[in-house]
Homo-oligomer: A and B are copies of this chain.
Amino acid sequence: MKSLKKNNIIIGVDGGGTKTEAIVADADLNILNRGLSGPANLRNVDTLTAVENISRAVDLAMESISGVPQSVVIGLPAIKEEFSSGVADFKKELFKKGIFRRVSRNNVHIVSDQEIAFRSGTDGNDGILVISGTGAVVRGWRSKKDIKVSGWGYFADEGSAFWVGIKAYQAITRAFDGRAKNTDITRNAKKIFMFKNAIELNRIVYNDFKKVIPELSIAVDNSAKNGDSVAIEILKEGAGELALGVNLVIDKLNFKKQFPVVMVGGMFKSVIFKKEFQRLVKDKNAIFVLPNDTPAIGALKIAKKK
């Protein structure tokens, strides 16, 4: 059993829409253990489920470690914007569970998922986070300013995998009925979803659109790599939408020196998308960062400073 001084242990938690990850480290950010559990996004699950999953991930991470953590930082989506009235309830339930019964309440901090994602890519306080996963959001911090753009959910979130997927779906159906030229996206989408024609694709899409639509973005990237002009156009338009948000936040924050632009989410795995995005964010002070670490590491970094 690893044994550490009580005040040497810190914990970072990323409570996401599909999973929760907790990481335990010492004060020098040496990782001691990790724990995984189910979703903790309050948009997807209720408070008790979120608390249960956070507690389980933390207890798993602490399983072979003695002592009580000195600082716990939990990153959660939307809690401050949409569920602020429920934070007290959330904490009340949390402090009934597992290790949290023994942690000083002042040492547990709930922050936004965007803050921990940002910190996973940088050690500084100022800069910009741009997420383009299933959803998209841009957030910037400078001194006391804190600005958020986009992040309105799947009917907006321009430049997200969902948005790219909708464009792909429309391109496929338009090509199918003759309103637009053929696209290689159809062929690549068939490889993923095994449909024979657009009517079958339709059944698949409307059966589970939250899962199927974002996955179409993979077909778009594969087709763009093959030189398909429709796919390339979609990726460039999406990158342009993200860059619009980032450039707006840069203008509002008026950075005087170099600052990080931390890029998080699956869309940045597309080289065409990423390059176009970086081309359109013209600020010469912008330093692009693709974090190697998970957001839970960002939570740990914040925990160290608390």
Which residues of A are at the interface with B, using a C-beta cutoff of 8 A?
81-82, 148-150, 152-153, 155-156, 158, 166, 169-170, 173-174, 177-179, 198-199, 202-203, 205-206, 209, 213, 244-245, 248, 252
In the complex, how many angstroms separate the beta carbon of A175 from the nearest chain B beta carbon? 12
The answer to whether A178 and B248 have CB atoms under 8 Å apart is: yes
For the A-B complex with A152-B202, A156-B173 known, give 15 more contacts whose Cβ atoms are closer than 8 Å.
A149-B177, A149-B178, A149-B179, A152-B169, A152-B173, A153-B202, A153-B205, A155-B166, A155-B170, A155-B205, A155-B206, A155-B209, A156-B169, A156-B170, A179-B248
Could you show 9 A-B contacts with beta carbons less than 8 Å apart? A148-B177, A149-B178, A149-B179, A150-B177, A150-B179, A152-B169, A155-B205, A178-B248, A178-B252
Complex partner residue of A245 from B148, B179, B213, CB under 8 angstroms: B179
Q: How far is the CB of A22 from chain B (nearest CB, A)?
A: 29
Q: How far is the CB of A79 from chain B (nearest CB, A)?
A: 13
Residues of B within 8 A of A153 (CB): 202, 205-206
Whole-angstrom CA separation of A62 from B178 in the bound complex: 44
Nearest residue (CB) in B for A177 is B149
Closest CB of chain B to A45's CB: distance in Å? 15
Shortest distance from the beta carbon of A194 to any chain B beta carbon, whole Å: 18
Give the Cβ gap from A163 to chain B, nearest Cβ, in Å.
10
Q: CB-CB < 8 A to A81: which residues of B?
A: 199
Query: A245 → chain B, closest Cβ, in Å?
Result: 6
Please measure, in the bound complex, the distance between the C-alpha atom of A177 and the C-alpha atom of B179, giving whole angstroms: 34
Q: Which residues of B contact A177 (CB under 8 A)?
A: 148-150, 245
User: Which chain B positions have C-beta within 8 A of A199?
Assistant: 81-82
Q: How far is the CB of A164 from chain B (nearest CB, A)?
A: 13
| Beta-carbon nearest neighbor of A178 in chain B | B248
Also in contact, A169 and B155, with CB within 8 A (given A179-B245, A245-B179, A248-B178)? yes
Residue of A169, A203, A213, A252 most packed against chain B (CB within 10 A): A169
In the complex, chain B residues whose CB is within 8 Å of the CB of A155: 166, 169-170, 205-206, 209, 213
